[in-house]
Structure 1
Amino acid sequence: MSPHHDRLRALRQHLADSRLDGFVVPLTDEHMSEYVGSYARRLEWLTGFQGSAGTAVVLTDSAAIFTDGRYTLQVREQVDAADWAYVEVPATSVAAWLGEHAPAGARIGYDPWLHTCGWVSDARAALAARGGDLVAVDTNPIDAVWADRPQPSAAVLRVQDDALAGQSAAAKRGEVADWLMAKGADAAVLAALDSIAWTFNVRGDDVSHTPVALAYALVHADGTADLFVAPEKMSEAVAQHLGNAVRVHDRAAFASALGGLAGKRVAVDPERAVAAIFEQLEAGGATILAERDPTVLPRAQKNPAEVAGHRAAQRRDGAVMVRFLRWIEAEAPKGELTEIAASDYLQHLREAAGAVDLSFDSISATGAHGASPHYKADAQSNARIEPGQLYLIDSGGQWADGTTDITRVIPVGEPTAEMRDRFTRVLKGHIALATAVFPQGTVGAQLDTLARAPLWAAGLDFAHGTGHGVGAYLSVHEGPQRIAKPNYPGGGPMEPLRAGMILSNEPGYYKAGEYGIRIENLLLVVAAEVHGAEQPMLAFETLTFAPIERSLIEPALLSVEERHWLNAYHAQVLDLLGPGLTGDERAWLLGKCGPI
């Protein structure tokens, strides 16, 4: 039996001892993070699933794992069908599934530090219809049976220089204070790790590939703040940076501090703060204002310093990608290179160029593995990159002045006519989005169709969003903006796009069992000058520069305008990256960027 089967059995025994008929295991942590520290990877420990979005439900005699279309193939490869049923969201929700499958009168446990109030309300209502009850646990049952569970990171906080941040932490707190005064509120709870890092101009190493630290914060209407962070994570430099207006407490004191806000009007984000925070405030006598985290929009709309930093980071990252693409073009046809060896070399190149970290685990996928959009190579799956395949590399870097994310596809040998057709359709969608001009107030869901239309024309589509927000040396997946279908899991497509937001542009195509294609650049939302316009207009500026493989393009499928865009883009790649390359690298890049 696998270790995951034994872990499931141990969890069921613990639940029985605790008089529970089931338990819900989300992927997230107590900050509603997408990427979590090793101590919080309960879903992966229990099931083996390594994706970045998912939930499991364990009942006495059955269990199910819930994932969206990005992980249809991956979940089946990593999670044993003998123990787990595969359920796809949003077609079915966890609450709805519980309402259908939980035994009548069942007591289903949940950890209130890992779920939102909205989820708790939905699940409780679904169970109540069957005479059941949703039961908050004081200690997470996974932690009770996870004998070698890692401890939370003790890494020390780092100061993010004001020159890179573009605004001092005091000024940011002042803007939150103004927002609180306008709302008639006394304080705001900040629970999202990237919100705290951005507000206080600090960074950390507590979550793999995301430079944040485990902390909570209360920002008050007078501009002062309380920061709750483990004492060992503080340094004298960080203390001086925070100043006297920020009172520092142990992170363990956060829950009791919430209970001490009696009579205060406290703003809390119902999407980014867990149910336990609301419960502690209510128990302590605070008046809760359900409001979006006031730092979300300012963080998403990058200021000039953040934009300049991102452009500089992209130039360095683009040069790295040129070196990598040139190298893999020479090495892959030999048939000896593996997926992990390729991504390791790319990581080496980024680190040699000064990157602080990767921005996520690289998706290094050859052949059939490319058809799983969020594939992650491991010792068991690590495949050789062989002639006749398409090799997909989706990767990014955390640079001190910006966060990057780029996907390119390389043919190993001669691509088939079908591969070129699909690649060109993906490229046409990519260009359509990159060149879009749209009025202020437009939401991502309205633009999503542009990227899919060339695929739809051939009866094709892809099962992931077209674009996600990106942070400024923060999370590679940042809200609230997103370009996706209206019903895309996780929300976001209905957020109006605003100048200063950075999003990815990554349409794709995936043929199960054969190959995957995705072309990804990052875009900056900018004001657009449109002659005769009767309202303010917006457009995109492409920020990512690296060659798009010309041998995969079927020129006959491109319009004159699309060819012009591609040729102009490759001219920019040469202009921006050429001066930083060696003579041999420039010569190679010149060949890749010739007009089509």
Structure 2
Amino acid sequence: MFQTYDDTPDPSRHPARLEALRAELARRELDGFLVPRADAHQGEYVAGHDARLRWLTGFSGSAGFAIVTAAEAGVFIDGRYRVQVKAEIPLEVMTPVHWPEIKPGPWLIQALPEGGRVGFDPWLHTRKEIQELEKALEGTGIALIAVEQNPIDAIWPDQPAPPVGLVRVWPGDLAGESAAEKRARIAGLLKAAGQRAAVITLPDSISWLLNIRGADVPKNPVVQAFAIIEDNGHVAVFTNPAKFSAEIRAGLGNEVQILPPEAFTPALTNLSGPVRIDPATAPEQAFRLVESMKTRIAPAQDPILMPKAIKNGAEIQGMRASHQRDGAAMVEVLAWLDARAPELDSAPLTEIDVAKKLEEARVRQGILDVSFDSIVGSGPNGAINHYHVSEGSNRRIMTGEILLIDSGGQYKDGTTDITRTLPMGQVDPAIRRPYTRVLQGMIALSRARFPKGVAGMHLDPIARAPLWSEGFDFDHGTGHGVGAGLSVHEGPVRIARISDIPLQAGMILSNEPGYYREGEYGIRIENLIAVIPVDSPDGRDMLGFETLTLAPIDTRLIDRDLMSRDEIDWLNSYHARVRDEIGPLLDAPLRAWLEAATQPL
């Protein structure tokens, strides 16, 4: 539970593991092997049993993969991790590869110009991923070979066992809809499409469908399982039955069957088609098993993704309540940091000290777990987008630096994610300009109004425009979907250049533009926002955002000359709301601090 800090990167142990893998590949007559970050459920966080990429390479980021051949080992990472990866992998035997600029197909063609056999575990790659790679390798002589046993598992002597986290009920007053109603709704979608069943492989989809929560993977309260839902609403869940108490089984009813994981393979070979399977999220092996019986497949998106993404009133109300308590926790930490800043030279403070203080404050507000490992980046560590503080990287916070804090909690009624950037004493005045541009981008998106049909890719430039005006940008999306008491990063909706999914009322996303100067500092300001209907004078169907996050935004770094009157009014109004909603949850000293921190500009 909560965050650990003892996983300091040790690149020295990974060359031997790489050589062991190469020896295993040679024994199997394979010229290469794909090592994804994903598990069979394609989750962002993986259990220890499935952390193969990290075990092999040392890379701890939430996205990426490796390709190993006899001569090369490429670790593919996107813009978020290009600083981090260099500190975690043994650079003398592994090479960071900028992805998606360099795709795996062209890389393999360069690495294996004479062709070869490249293995992959069909449980760990989606059909879409494999088809795209096969297409890229057409005519090259390079063949993709599905392996029955993962070669990393064969050389990993102390691989952890699969998790067996106990299942708990997600209450009906928070779900806003019973599991039986949800099953009937999804079954109706299948019946309308002429589909007999759907294979569900995403743990958060299964957890949402059955109104359950689990403890199988860190930070995400999901039940790791596979499921098959039929067009009559019957659901078979394939996971370790020990996760379910007799009481929870009884509550799920006779239409929900709990079966062991080994029953999933025969179940896939005994389906009547058409069977709906999502090429973007389901493992390649699921397709192969259904196809082995000549059963018709209807490739289509997981039918639970959109219903889960569009929160109902009860789910949004739970998120509002959790954000109020989270805001109280953040005020406690921000006030504490304000008091500590003048003492940094005589009373040292480290990043881990701050991360622990965040957890302590949230525990007092009823946290069940953190929603992700807290990012506490001081000075140059703030420039690492998804920095993970460990005992080895832990840095003393120095006077004159800015501190980036990105953290969140899993509460009994919702999930939070908030980022604030603050000065630790007097900082370089040059930082004010990029800080203000980041804040302007966050405000611009918060105030956006747009017609139905607009997607995240259309809104993304709104948050970037103030930064672009200075020649600045950031290498991550502006926003990700957020689950209600589920995964803090939830698909399929995003605010990003590549997201063409129209936003709908009820969706919850992050709003987090940033600016990063490698080796110096990072700036990010993040609130969570819910999509809501808004009025239009000509009767158009228009949407906007309600801000859910409630915590002060530091005003000491603002260059007021850059701010418009409308932007200042928005910030003042937001801070007035923070005072009104968070103030009653605080003791007198914290209320006084909050009043001072949110004084109108």
- Give, in whole Å, the separation in 2 of the partners of 1:458 and 1:248: 56
Cα drift, residue 38 of structure 1: 1.1
Q: CA deviation at 1:417?
A: 1.7
Out of 522, 535, 541, the residue aligned to residue 528 of structure 2 is: 522
1:347 to 359, 364, 368: 359
State the SS of the aligned residue for 2:82: helix
SS in 2 for 1:299: helix
Contact map agreement 2:447 2:544 (CA 8 A) in 1:
yes
Other-structure match for 2:451: 439
- In structure 2, the partner of 1:50 is 60
SS state of the match for residue 199, structure 2? strand
Q: Is the aligned partner of 1:264 residue 2:273? A: yes
Counterpart check, 1:496 vs 2:502: yes
TM-score, normalization: structure 2?
0.96
Alignment match of 2:336 (pick from 321, 324, 327)? 327
Bigger relative contact order, structure 1 or 2, given CA contacts below 8 A and separation 6+?
2
Distance 2:514 2:483 in 1: 22
The partner residue of 1:536 within 541, 545, 551 is: 541
Counterpart pick for 2:238 among 213, 217, 228: 228
Q: Which runs of 5+ in 2 are unaligned?
A: 1-10
Q: How far apart are 1:503 and its partner, in Å? A: 0.4
Range with bigger deviation, 199-208 or 283-292: 283-292
Per-residue deviation, 1:78: 1.1
Aligned to 1:569: 574
Are residues 245 and 555 of structure 1, via their aligned partners in 2, closer, same or farther at CA, if it must alter by over 3 Å?
A: same
Runs of 4+ aligned structure 1 residues displaced above 3 Å come to 125-128
Residue 556 of structure 1 pairs with residue 569 of structure 2? no
Q: Partner of 1:162 in structure 2?
A: 172
* 1:36-115 equivalences in 2 (<5 Å): 36-115=46-125
Q: Which residue of 1 aligns with 2:145?
A: 135
Q: What residue in structure 2 maps to residue 489 of structure 1? A: none
Count of equivalent residues: 588
1:82 alignment partner, SS class: coil
Alignment correspondent of 1:209 = 219
Q: CA deviation at 1:124?
A: 2.5
C-alpha separation in 1, matches of 2:481 and 2:203: 16
CA contact (8 A) 2:22 2:70 kept: yes
Q: Which residue number in structure 1 is paired with residue 497 of structure 2?
A: 485
Structure 1: distance between partners of 2:201 and 2:216? 15
Q: Which moved more, 1:76-85 or 1:361-370?
A: 76-85
C-alpha separation between the residues in 1 aligned to 2:41 and 2:423?
41
Aligned partner (choices 368, 377, 380) of residue 389 of structure 2:
377
CA contact (8 A) 2:129 2:280 kept: no
Answering whether residue 310 of structure 2 is matched by residue 301 of structure 1, we say yes
Matched to 1:561, the amino acid is: D
Q: TM-score, normalised by structure 1?
A: 0.97
Distance (Å, rounded) in 1 between the aligned partners of 2:459 and 2:572: 24
Does the alignment pair 1:289 with 2:307?
A: no
CA RMSD of superposed structures (Å): 1.1
Q: 1:160-218: per-residue Cα shift (whole Å, max 9, x none)?
A: 11111110000000011111111111111110010000001111000100001111111
Write the deviation string for residues 461-514 of structure 1: whole angstroms up to 9, x where unpaired. Answer: 11100000000000000111101123xxxxxx1110000000000000001111
Q: Does structure 2 conserve the Cα–Cα contact (< 8 Å) formed by 1:50 and 1:78?
A: yes
Q: Distance in 1 between matches of 2:129 and 2:318?
A: 38
Q: Give the C-alpha shift of residue 128 in structure 1.
A: 4.1
Amino acid at match of 2:122: P
Q: Which string of whole-angstrom CA distances, capped at 9 and with x for unpartnered residues, describes residues 256-309 of structure 1?
A: 110111x42111111110100000100123210011111111100100100010
Displacement of 1:334 after TM fit?
Answer: 2.8
Partner-residue secondary structure (3-state), 1:66: strand
1:103 Cα deviation from its structure 2 partner: 4.1
CA contact (8 A) 1:47 1:79 kept: yes
Matched, 1:595 2:600: yes
* SS state at 1:130 partner: coil
Rounded Cα–Cα distance in structure 2 between residues aligned with 1:284 and 1:400: 44
Tell me which amino acid in the other structure corresponds to 1:167. E
Give the match's secondary structure for 2:83.
helix
1:456-467 correspondence to structure 2 within 5 Å: 456-467=468-479
Cα shift at 1:331: 2.0
Equivalent of residue 404 in structure 1, options 407, 416, 420? 416
